[in-house]
Chains A and B, each alone.
Chain A
Amino acid sequence: MMSDAQIIEGCVRHDKRSQQELYSKYSRFLMGICLRYAADRAEAEDILQEVFLKIYFNIKDYSGTGSFTGWLRKVAVNTAITHYHRNLRYRYHEDIDEYIAVETGIASFEEDYFTSDELYNVLNGLPSGYRMVFNLYAVEGYKHKEIAEMLNIDVNTSKSQYSRAKAVMRGKLEKLRKLKETYSGGITDNDKQTD
């Protein structure tokens, strides 16, 4: 097993073995990030390919200070944002009003009540604008001002999209919980997607 420093040094030289090592060590972690920003697995894989190419060709820019995984995460998030911008015009624009009305009172979430697969499903089902803002704000921890700059939108848009995203997600999670309580057995994807 190579250390991060060895991997980085090898990748700078375009060394095949180091590239493989980087891939096997971090691809699952990066896929975890990409999947949050994508509508489905195929899109996530597209983003991940770009992420890896960026990493391989720009690894010399990694300063060495700061955590390597932090740098990788940043590359992944930036690539996802670029991808979002590029695909914006081809994407089906969902009707926002559809999601506004679903505000439901769900008090709190038990951490282990939902599996990560289920949470991914909820995220993937969001309109892409909501998903971007929610990921960047709630998971990545950016400020609304930064998000507005990254996504090239207004700060207020970022804020309102975030609150709408939350409302939508609460509704979805509530529905999911009810389903889970009703059928304590297996739940199909289709059931989860139904609104």
Chain B
Amino acid sequence: MNAEKDIQLEELFRKKLGSTEVMLGPRFNSSLMKKLARREFMTFNPAKINIFYAGGIVVAGIAAILVLSLNTKEIPPVNRSYISENIVVNEVIDTTANKNPAAVVLDEPTEQPALTITAVKTAVSAENAVPVTNGRETIIESNEPPVEITRKTLEPAVIKKDIITRERLIYNKLAANNKNTTKLFVPSALKGCSPFSVKFAITSEKIDSCHWSFGSAGVSSEKAPEWIFTSPGDFEVRLEAFSAGRLTGVYSENITVYPRPVVRFEISPEQAIIPDEEVRFINYSSGAVRYLWDFGDGYSSQQFEPLYRYKKFGNYTVTLKAYNEYGCTDSVIKPDAFASSKCYIEFPNAFIPNKNGPSGGLYSQKSDELAQVFHPVSLGVTNYKLKIFSKQGILIFESSDVNIGWDGYLNGQLSAPGVYIWQASGQYRTGESFSKIGDVTLLNN
């Protein structure tokens, strides 16, 4: 029962819709034809114009323009006479049968290895209008005596081979012997200190594309590159010049880059008290043979490690310039070299006098480890007065030397433990004055 139903449903559709024709609107046909035309244009069909033909026409047009533009670059006749005088023949002569290096006169094509022979011939004969560019021809030079070769007829097929061989000959010649070639570029300098920046200017306007190699330093294809040699060494800068897509010349120059000295120095002591203290300049430079110090106050020195005493305090800029054997220099500038030498005076708030008797108050950092003398720590104090009073306001001690403090004794008697008042005033070497008041506790151990 069920199966019967299925068949009937299937049959209904198969019969009614299996081959039904459905009418189409008129617009469908036109849009289909448009699409068809577009698709046909994109497909190759030898019988009809399509995108391949159109593309071919465009390519042919471009090629024609290129050929025309190349033809205009044919060399002027002046150069041809020059060519005939400077020709590479030494390789050629060896292969000829007569082995006569003086002159070869050929009226007909010979059976000799034609490639090399005719290579020369083509270059020589001015009437064979072989397109040769100026740049290439001028660099053909030979140490051999020039040989004149003339030729009356030349088959076109041979010419083509000739050009290829000739180019190869020229290239080999150039590569092997580029010292003899024309100066194709001028470097702005040949020797210098690293980092060495050199500008290269090409001499011929006919070069339209360049390939530069800077030894191990890199390559460039700019027309007038400026190259910075960062590391020292010898670099062969080599230019392969092209015009109209063909190699027309190779030329190289050597650039020498010298190392620079490394400069470094320190000032000792770091917080030098100037002008009182003598300052030592410690030199850590390397790779230098000569030094020039500028102390920043108008004085200079050529010593390796000078000692210098400034006349007065100031914010001096110290410069060390070092020279090596090549004359390369480098320098280090320390602006405001004594900025850290800031003046100050500070007092402690307690001390423990020595019970064994008065010391006189003269102290140093080393002798007063036990804080037996009341004294300030200071830097750059030029003018100084210290007064110490008892609580009752009686002046007990007075000093005008920053190196002499109070030992706790008054007239040979140890003062009583307790609080004392001090007053300090004076001037720093900068000209700035100070005035301080405080109290200090005398301790009894």
Contact = CB atoms under 8 A, between A and B. Distances in A.
The CB with the most chain A CB atoms within 10 A, among B18, B40, B47, is that of B18
Interface string B6-35: 101111111111111111100011011001
Contacts of A114: 12, 16
Contacts of B14: 138-139, 141
Nearest to B6: A166
A63 B146 CA distance: 75
Contacts of A14: 40, 45, 47-48
Nearest to A13: B47
Contact of A109 (B12, B17, B22): B12
A117 B47 CA distance: 43
Interface stretch (A27-35, A79-87, A149-157, A181-189): A27-35
A138 B10 contact: yes
Contacts of B43: 57
Interface residues of A, number: 36
Contacts of A45: 24, 28
Given A36-B17, A57-B39, A139-B17, A28 B22 contact: yes
B16 A48 contact: no
A169 B9 contact: yes
Contacts of A130: none
Contacts of B31: 49
Given A23-B29, A108-B5, A49 B35 contact: yes
Contact of A111 (B16, B40, B47): B16
A5 interface: no
Contact of B20 (A32, A49, A56): A32
Nearest to B23: A28
B186 interface: no
A35 B39 CA distance: 24
A88 interface: no
Contacts of A29: 19, 21
A119 interface: yes
Interface in A146-195: 166, 169-170
B107 interface: no
B236 to A, nearest CB: 61
A166 B31 CA distance: 36
B36 interface: yes
A53 interface: yes
B5 A23 contact: no
B16 A116 contact: yes
B22 A19 contact: no
Contacts of B111: none
B4 interface: yes
B36 A52 contact: yes
A32 B22 CA distance: 5
B116 to A, nearest CB: 55
Contacts of B28: 27, 45, 48-49
Interface in B21-66: 21-24, 28-29, 31-32, 35-36, 39-40, 43, 45, 47-48
B379 to A, nearest CB: 83
Interface string A104-120: 00111101001010011
A28 B24 contact: yes
The CB with the most chain A CB atoms within 10 A, among B5, B12, B14, B28, is that of B12
Contacts of B6: 166
The 9 closest A-B pairs by CB, nearest first: A28-B21, A138-B10, A32-B20, A31-B22, A109-B12, A32-B22, A108-B8, A116-B20, A116-B16
Interface of A: 13-14, 19, 23, 27-29, 31-32, 35-36, 45, 48-49, 52-53, 56-57, 106-109, 111, 114, 116, 119-120, 123, 134, 137-139, 141, 166, 169-170
